Structure 1
Amino acid sequence: MTTGCLTTLLTLTMVLSVVVSWLWYTAWNNGNINSDRRETALASILDRARDMSDDTAHALDVSAATDADALTAVIWQHTKAPTITYDESRREFTATTASSAMYNEKVLLPGGGPVKVTRCLVITYTRHPGTAWTPQVAERKDEACHPGTEISALVRLTQTHLASMHAKDLTRAAVQQRLDPNGTLQSYDVKNVVHTGDTVTLFILVSSPGTTVGQCYRFVRPAHGNNSQNPATAIAAPSC
């Protein structure tokens, strides 16, 4: 091998070594940056949840409501948690919800961008005689929030169905048929339909398929025509 060829080979080896080292360092550095960004995003979820729980507790304190239905409505309005349960013996409400945040992922090659991270949160609101409502935020495994996520999607689908139905069809049997035409979904149980003046109120138990998790929802929509441009409102209720 001539001296020129050897020199060229050594030069190429050095260049390749520098490139490999740069790629390794860049990948390592990007990994650290992404890890920090992920942790920051996850921390922001907890920060928001604590602020939300404090605001909700304050709303419960100033509310004149005393019954479980009205208090559940207050919690729903502030948290939008798909499942809210009430333990009468402990006078404790439990709201379970998945909350997300975004961060920009740094990558070596094109293709990076926004990444969503999610935390499953359980927020309890407890009140003992003579005290204010006390909130507590805890994190659970993602599996604990899967039923609620499915219920939330089913509630939105229910709103769409109810909005497109004519008022005369808003009966218990007709709504049940519309939501579950074949009677095989086991996700909907229309408990009651009440026509009052200009509105129709429907109480429907919405359940996560394949689980024992269900949540009663109160749907309200106008009692005339259909209203596909303005879906029925929905709010969680302690029972149907």
Structure 2
Amino acid sequence: MTVVLSLIVSWLWYRHWHDGNVNSQRREQTRASILERAQATANNTNSALARSGSTDTDALADVIWRHSKAPVITYDTSRPEFTATAAVSAHYDEKVMIPGGGNAEVSRCFTFTYTQRPNETWTSKVSEWGDDVCRPSTQIGGRARLALTRISSMNAEDLSLTRVQNALDPTRRRSFDVKNVVRRGGIVRIFVLVSSSGAEVEQCYRFTRRVSGSGTQDTATAVPTPFC
């Protein structure tokens, strides 16, 4: 009996050691793949900015959003320079003794900086930070999606500044500040300042919704924009 127990303990110890090594390798491989994705995103965005030939700040921010989906995109008028902040994550199969394994996630926080040179060429830089830097950005992204859902579900005639404000922030927590509502033809554009907890970070979002007629509900889109 003692020999059998010793064999079981030895096997369990080996499995724990082996699985730990395998998981460590998979985790590092996933981290490396995330960095490769971030670099590819920066390169693709940089090329798209150059191809756009635009000098319009909103249009350039749209290009960055389409490629990065970063919840926070700021603009420094003195450089000129855009900075997009986003957490990038990926999953891997974690090896465990329980049959079927487990699903583990790796997340890395990046800022993507895009600078336009005097000769109108663009350069990009990817910097990695601790999770605390991306926490407000992730929170703003979640709140922007919530606002998008609520704006999409509103009746067309209710898309006024006051009614949208009440729909987004019924408890007056000040996570949303509706700055402007613009109607042109069958399109309504709503500009909302979305804040993280404690207003640590704020990001303006432009929600665009087509309205087909009174009482109809049409899907909206949401894009971060540097200014409200």
Q: Report the alpha carbon displacement of residue 109 of structure 1 after superposing the two structures with TM.
A: 2.7
- From 209, 213, 218, the equivalent of 2:197 is 209
- From 79, 84, 105, the equivalent of 1:90 is 79
- Aligned position for 2:206: 218
- Aligned position for 1:176: 165
CA RMSD between the two structures: 1.4
- Aligned position for 2:221: 233
Q: What is the CA–CA distance in structure 1 between the aligned matches of 2:214 and 2:196, rounded to whole Å?
A: 30
What secondary structure, in the 3-state scheme, does the structure 2 residue paired with 1:65 have? coil
- Aligned position for 1:63: 52
Counterpart of 1:209, as a letter, is: S
Partner deviation per Cα, 1:202-240 (whole Å, 9 max, x = no partner): 111111122320110111111334555x53101111110
- Aligned position for 1:3: none
Q: What is the CA–CA distance in structure 2 between the aligned matches of 1:127 and 1:222, rounded to whole Å?
A: 33
- From 128, 133, 143, the equivalent of 2:117 is 128
Contact 2:156 2:216 in 1 (8 A): no
Q: Report the alpha carbon displacement of residue 20 of structure 1 after superposing the two structures with TM.
A: 1.4
Q: What is the CA–CA distance in structure 2 between the aligned matches of 1:91 and 1:58, rounded to whole Å?
A: 17
The residue correspondences of 1:34-183 to structure 2 (distance < 5 A) are 34-110=23-99, 112-130=101-119, 132-183=121-172
Q: Identity of aligned pairs, percent?
A: 52
- Aligned position for 1:196: 184
Q: How many residues align?
A: 227
Contact 2:210 2:219 in 1 (8 A): no
- Aligned position for 1:13: 2
Structure 2 unaligned segments of length 5 or more: list them: none
Which of these two proteins has the greater Rg computed from alpha carbons?
A: 1
Q: What is the CA–CA distance in structure 2 between the aligned matches of 1:211 and 1:203, rounded to whole Å?
A: 17
Q: What is the CA–CA distance in structure 2 between the aligned matches of 1:113 and 1:13, rounded to whole Å?
A: 32
Could you tell me the TM-score, scaled by structure 2's length?
0.95
Q: Report the alpha carbon displacement of residue 111 of structure 1 after superposing the two structures with TM.
A: 6.3
Counterpart of 2:98, as a letter, is: L
Partner deviation per Cα, 1:173-221 (whole Å, 9 max, x = no partner): 11111111232x1111100000000110111111112232011011111
Partner deviation per Cα, 1:21-47 (whole Å, 9 max, x = no partner): 121111101000000000111111110
